[in-house]
Chain A
Amino acid sequence: MGVTGTPTSINQGSKTKGGIGESTLRPDGTLKVTGEFAYSSDMWHEDMLWGHTLRSTTAHAEIRSIDTSEALAMPGVYAVLTYDDLPTEVKNYGLEIQDTPVLAHGKVRHHGEPVAIVAADHPETARRAAAKIKIDYVELPVITDEASATAPDALLVHENRDDHHIGHVPHPNIVHRQPIIRGNADDAARRADVIVRGEYVFGMQDQAFLGPESGLAVPGEDGGVDLYVATQWLHSDLRQIAPVLGLPGEKVRMTLSGVGGAFGGREDLSMQIHACLLALRTGKPVKMVYNRFESFFGHVHRHPAKLWYEHGATRDGKLTHLKCRIVLDGGAYASASPAVVGNASSLSVGPYVVEDVDIEALALYTNNPPCGAMRGFGAVQACFAYEAQMDKLAAKLDMDPVEFRRINAMEQGTLLPTGQPCDSPAPVAELLRRVKAMPLPPEQQWLAAGEQADVRALPGGLSNTTHGEGVVRGVGYAVGIKNVGFSEGFDDYSTARVRMEVINGEPVATVHTAMAEVGQGGVTVHAQIARTELGVAQVTIRPADTQVGSAGSTSASRQTYVTGGAVKNTCENVREKVLETGRAKFGSYHPAWTTAELLLEDGKVVTDGGEVLADLADVLEGEAVDLELEWRHRPTEAFDPRTGQGNGHVQYSFAAHRAVVEVDTELGLVKVIELACAQDVGKALNPLSVAGQIQGGTTQGLGVAVMEEIIVDPKTAKVRNPSFTDYLIPTILDTPTIPVDVLELADDHAPYGLRGVGEAPTLSSTPAVLAAIRDATGLELNRTPVRPEHLTGT
């Protein structure tokens, strides 16, 4: 892994072993690989009950009546709750718009919507009881796309909307719409020598995290509840849960339990309120675990999208203008749709200089499954379209696709279509140059082993469909831009509590945050930051819970930046306190206490010249320094609702991919041979984790290029493939070699100069694979994922 560039703003040395920049090993790694890690679904409590959710079997219907009597009469059943049993006037929840009923009321709006919940002494009893609940549905016509959502006689998915977007949307079945107008696209189009148009379709991807939704709610003696749950943002859950239960926030005590992946799918609530309701009603602990089938209905998915793009360019390869329209299907409930719209529109131009733009992005309300946050968050769909456009333009101008991108690549100082200047490094051209410069993998690797064709290296793999016949290689490139952190004026802060004390003669730091460790490695990085800032070897990371302030969401590539920044900030303040104590005790013995720059290193107070002034053990003795502080990144602004202008984002992350694929052109099967990635990460706090994020994001992008799609019946809006038999995710045999080249060009505004890492590789991976398949087949391929039918015209 190549590393270049030096961060410019580190003010505490990192000589202490296990500090930032080292690939310290994650504490959960071995446990997860050996199967010993306790996930939220592994929890158990004496005398606990099992909760089960009854979900709608239809996508859009009025509920005439619900009869729970037979279910309640079953031995072993402790409670059956419906909308009528909700304890307070707050009966809805939602991330931004509270439009999601805790349990359906009078109507269901999508397939798999929760209608009733059951608690019983055995999961099977709960399931059987749920099956005895009788619901009288009256089917309603389904709204499944833009045409049916905005038709003159369209039913409204949500009547009586009063959210803050309703004032500026053209139709109540549109959640939010964000135009961006800058310059004059029509005038600029006249300067174009070539114009390229395309209509693109992005399928519905699932997060497919391996640990399904699960948690345990334990009623407390004070009338409150303790909730142990796998989630992405404890305090956001708490804000939505407590009012429904009618409890003050402090009586809903949440603790993060083992999370088996998230990718955005745990931003919305799933079983949290249901388990608490059942626990409070029965007075017993209640555990809920979704199975894989239910999990497909238990969380939102990536917005499927239709995208219309028009670009122009001059003969010498300069982009003249962009006109685009992005229609995202938000499904039945808003979830994160408004923010996804903001991202899709503001990043629709990609990492390119285009001064004249006419952009519109919107999200629909339909009766399809609700869609919301997923890794890449609106930027993924746009990247798929604009990168296809770049290749089309390059082809039309007879230019090399990488050279065409280089000519138009944005850089530090470029104004985005929102009018916001990019105020940190944007090495777009350099990233492309790097992936292009990597050696190509050898041809016909299936013959490498000798006489027999190694089918594992061929399209079709173990299914033995080709021994080389019909196989054509293709190469494709793509690059993307993703915002880091929450945008559009959101108060995106994090809280960290750090305690420093001496235990058994050793200085020890304890870090306590509410950060959800969902597998990204945040707990590893927090310990590294504490070691670097406080010069201690021993760092204890306390379990994440709501006894400490909010850490914000484990989303938007933000946790190392924002909660990492909060840990750093609190550590710096703790360090100052420690030094004050040291000065008070020992200042009179050595002038350096007041004249030199002081650091904490290896359990000692040292000068920046390396002179040891005192042992931390002697400075602290029996005292502890304990601080809890909030930390925020620079504020952002809302986008103007008409023009989209505004400094909406705080930071950007860039990645480029080169995909090498081999396509069996007769059978339409694809083997991705290699997906080389170059990404600027500002500063790699843990290089191994950075590489892991890049490889994981790349693979998730590959998934939606060639196999991953939730298929919704357009006539009934019902999900047709809610299982891992028919919703396919890449196996290790589908995962190519992923060489990673990491740049470290510091963002001087960010802690240690770091840049959020997790999402950017998910953007460019998909269009790079598509470009490579187009290169191999000569087909236009305007939709993803690509299926064999698309490659064979069948």
Chain B
Amino acid sequence: MDFLRPASWEEALAAKAEYPTAVPIAGGTDVMVEINFDHRRPEYLLDLNRIPELREWEVGEETVQLGASVPYTQIMDHLRAELPGLALAAHTVGSPQIRNRGSVGGNLGAASPAGDSHPALLSAGAEVEAESVRGTRLIPVEEFYTGVKRNALEPDELIRSVHIKKADGPQQFSKVGTRNAMVIAVCAFGIALHPATRTVKTGIGSAAPTPLRARAAEDFLNAALEEGGFWESGKIITPSVAKQFAELASGACNPIDDVRGTAKYRRHAVGIMARRTLGWTWEQYRGTGRTLEGAA
């Protein structure tokens, strides 16, 4: 195995063009596990740790441009206001040691359906900035996940950053694991209210071959909120609407039975999380939210 150590982003792109099978590594939280367990024997590892701009972020007017290697700890510490859903998700990643090294770029590169940041990215709205020697393109995150542990990157492309919409309303993230910390998701749910556009967006993790949005649930809820004048009145969401939203979120899942949980449980739990997180975000939108977010 050759270890490529580009000193700059340009060198990294050139290396990836020259060695398209090279596996990028930053924190190594996924890649090293795969190598240690002998699940994967890449010919080349492409070390991105010498490229400082990957660990930087920029808060713009509408979006946060989050460098691919920004560790979760930084998101929790510095971007809680702009990216509340992602900050909550970041807090559930592994242990403090892993949060110090792991990054959203790694989560996207691995494209595991259980990656914790996906539901937050899907609900907030995000585009993945993929770059190669051929140029740069922005891939909407919904189109980025193409299968179990597969993504839309071309062999010569690297993830430069993720452009994530700044929160224009309350966001929540919730994840079921069978332990109270340091646990991989059995399933997860993200939700973001976008009062500016009067829409609600969602993200489901670990309950289908890829992370996905619960589109039917979103469409139903957006219509119900609009028709009922909820955005203007800020009145409590009718329980039947919340229930229907939860059922549709549940129905969006296409899970499997595995050692972490049954398919039936995953569908059930996504429904519960959808109902609860809708309640939390809506309470906050109404300005009465005692529980802005889970504190820890």
Question: Which positions in A face B, CB cutoff 8 Å?
Answer: 127, 291, 293, 449, 451-456, 458-467, 469-470, 666-669, 671, 706-707, 711, 720-721, 723, 725-726, 728, 730-734, 787-789, 792, 794
Contact = CB atoms under 8 A, between A and B. Distances in A.
Contacts of A725: 184
Interface string B172-194: 11111111111110100000000
5 contacts: A452-B294, A467-B291, A469-B276, A667-B273, A789-B261
B259 A721 contact: yes
B288 interface: no
Interface stretch (B2-10, B138-146, B213-221, B263-271): B263-271
A458 B184 CA distance: 18
Contacts of B56: none
Given A465-B174, A671-B180, A291 B296 contact: no
Contacts of B291: 451-453, 467
A453 B296 CA distance: 9
Given A467-B276, A733-B181, 17 more contacts: A127-B38, A293-B37, A460-B180, A462-B296, A463-B92, A463-B175, A464-B172, A706-B178, A720-B259, A725-B184, A726-B259, A734-B180, A788-B186, A788-B265, A789-B261, A789-B264, A792-B265
B180 A794 contact: no
B294 A787 contact: no
Contacts of B293: 452, 464
A669 B176 contact: yes
A464 B175 contact: yes
B295 interface: yes
Given A449-B295, A452-B295, A455-B295, A731 B290 contact: no
B262 A666 contact: no
Contacts of B172: 464
Given A455-B295, A464-B294, A666-B272, A711 B88 contact: no
B133 interface: no
B255 to A, nearest CB: 11
A788 B261 contact: yes
Given A464-B92, A734-B179, A456 B174 contact: no
A788 B181 contact: no
Contacts of B262: 789, 794
A668 B266 CA distance: 12
A730 B178 CA distance: 10
A459 B180 contact: yes
A794 B261 CA distance: 9
B292 A728 contact: no
Nearest to A468: B291
From A449, A467, A721, A792, residue with most partner B Cβ within 10 Å: A467
From B177, B262, B294, B295, residue with most partner A Cβ within 10 Å: B294
A734 B178 CA distance: 10
Nearest to B268: A794
Nearest to A455: B294
A293 B269 CA distance: 30
B282 interface: no
Contacts of B261: 787-789
B180 A463 contact: yes
Nearest to B283: A467
B186 A465 contact: no
Nearest to A467: B291
Given A291-B36, A463-B92, A467-B291, A731 B276 contact: no
B91 interface: yes
B295 to A, nearest CB: 4
Nearest to B267: A794
Contacts of A453: 291, 294-295
Nearest to B269: A667
B295 A463 contact: no
A466 B183 CA distance: 16
B260 interface: yes
Contacts of A723: 37
A725 B184 CA distance: 7
A464 B188 CA distance: 10
A731 B174 contact: no
B280 interface: yes
A731 B269 contact: no
B123 to A, nearest CB: 14
Contacts of B280: 467
Given A293-B37, A456-B296, A461 B290 contact: no
Contacts of A291: 36
Given A452-B295, A455-B294, A794-B262, A464 B88 contact: yes
B179 A707 contact: yes
A456 B181 CA distance: 9
A454 B296 CA distance: 6
A733 B180 contact: yes
Contacts of B267: 794
Contact of B180 (A462, A668, A792): A462
Contact of A792 (B88, B268, B279): B268
A452 B269 contact: no
A667 B272 contact: yes
A8 B109 CA distance: 68
